[in-house]
Structure 1
Amino acid sequence: MRRPQKEEKVAALHEAFGAAHLVVVTHQTGLTVAEVTALRGQMREAGASFTVTKNRLAKIALDGTPFEHLADLFNGPTAIAVSSDPVAAARVAVGYSEKNTKLKVLGGAMGSQKLNADEIIALAKLPSLDELRGKIVGVIQTPATRIAGVLQAPGGQMARVLKAYADKDQAA
């Protein structure tokens, strides 16, 4: 790789680190091109990206970003998963590593908070933002539905009692 290509790669990585909320660092020993392509597709669907990196270029790109403290993880065959969603990259990387042992999650960071592999796995198990919003809406709607049912019940009971009296009078 020539110097202009390296500078371009460092600039792209620096921009990705600057825009990210979550970075997951992985070792990807022995992944085939087809497996990496499948993983990238899953990442794209989740709103994240997966990039195989040169350690030296990644360390240079980390300078001046909130993820500077991750430099010590860049040893060996390293790849990074980056996302603006605080859970997406972790969920896909952990899910893929559970199915394919060639990918190993080393750690990462959410903003300036460094996370080890166990914390990334715990983060991956959290529900997504859309799921949380759905649960909140459900919790908010449930009391309103119950109140409406309680308010309608006396009126319905009164109507049944009146109908029973009317049926009784007609029968007599």
Structure 2
Amino acid sequence: MSEKSIALKSQLVDEIVEKFQNASSVVIVDYRGLTVEQVTNLRKQLRESGVQMQVIKNKILERVVEKTGFDDLKEVLSGPTAVAFSSDDAIAGAKILHNFSKEAPALELKGGVIEGKVASVEEISTYATLPSREELLATLASMLQAPVRNVAYAVKAVAEKKESDDGDAA
């Protein structure tokens, strides 16, 4: 192998190591058997959620997982491999890929990294079924508003009762 080729591969490994380190989650999948239309649709869904998917050779990924300390992922690096990097929402990529694999069984989740820890297919599926960050925030906001709303109703009821009592006294 030429020095130029080695340098290019080394640079590629470094770029992917940086993606691994900056991502809040990384999901590794086998996309063999998907049609071009399915892959295009999947990439569109991922892109809309801020998730980047990249096809990466297993030899490159082996070097990446060695450098990042995610050696447990080596066992899933066989066959065609695509990697989904999610920077903002740790669950977004897992959720989209999990749901897409239900529609297109050819897509197979292999494993990944979520919040800096190696995750099995089962763990990724569990994370994928959790509500999104936005859904959790909306639920929390609703729960926080409920006591205030109840106090407002109580104050309004007391005020209406007082008005009706004042009206009766007159």
Which TM-score applies when normalising by structure 2?
A: 0.86
Report how far residue 62 of structure 1 moved: 2.2
Q: Check if 1:103 corresponds to 2:107.
A: yes
Name which of 150, 156, 162 aligns with 2:160. Answer: 156
Equivalent residue pairs, number? 165
Question: Structure 1 residues 46, 12: closer, same or farther in 2, change over 3 A?
Answer: same
Question: Gaps (5+ residues) in structure 1?
Answer: 167-172
Computing the radius of gyration over CA atoms, which structure comes out larger, 1 or 2?
1
- Identical amino acids, percent of aligned pairs: 32
In structure 2, distance between residues paired with 1:125 and 1:10:
32
Note if contact 2:16-2:64 (Cα within 8 Å) is conserved in structure 1.
Answer: yes
Question: Structure 1 residues 30, 115: closer, same or farther in 2, change over 3 A?
Answer: same
User: 2:90 — aligned with what?
Assistant: 86
Report how far residue 17 of structure 1 moved: 0.6
Question: Gaps (5+ residues) in structure 2?
Answer: none
The residue identity in structure 2 corresponding to 1:75 is S
User: 1:62 — aligned with what?
Assistant: 65
Note if contact 1:17-1:67 (Cα within 8 Å) is conserved in structure 2.
Answer: no
In structure 2, distance between residues paired with 1:78 and 1:52:
6
In structure 1, distance between residues paired with 2:127 and 2:105:
19
Which TM-score applies when normalising by structure 1?
A: 0.85
- 1:14-25 equivalences under 5 Å are 14-25=17-28
Report how far residue 32 of structure 1 moved: 2.7
> Deviation per CA, 1:52-101, whole angstroms, max 9, x where unpaired?
11100111122332534312211111111121221011001101111111
